[in-house]
Amino acid sequence: MEYHAVPNCIFTKPEIASVGITETQAKEKGQPINVGKFNFMANGKALSMGEAEGMVKVLACASTLGSK
């Protein structure tokens, strides 16, 4: 079993969740990655629900189709 891909979640306010390796781990391994970030403050639904705190950060393998 590959344990690096096990998802985890911490139910704080706001919640924290992750799956896979971190940006630091990818850089240490020399894996080329693309990093995307999106603040909830820019999401209309989040604003209307009063839940605009937080962000999403996605790491994708640079050689994977569609990761740019």
Domain boundaries, the chain: 3-61
Query: Do 17 and 8 form a contact (C-beta atoms < 8 A)?
Result: yes
Query: Do 59 and 26 form a contact (C-beta atoms < 8 A)?
Result: yes
Predicted TM-score of the model (pTM):
0.71
Mean pLDDT of 14-19: 88
The strand pairing partners of 9, in sequence order, are 17
User: How high is the mean pLDDT of the chain?
Assistant: 88
Mean pLDDT of 28-43: 93
Q: What is the pLDDT of residue 63?
A: 87
Distance CA 53, CA 61 (A): 27
CATH topology of domain 3-61: Enolase-like; domain 1 (3.30.390)
Distance CA 31, CA 42 (A): 30
Q: What is the pLDDT of residue 47?
A: 92
Residue-wise over 9-28: b if at least 16 C-beta within 10 A, else e?
A: eeeeeeeeeeeebeeeebee
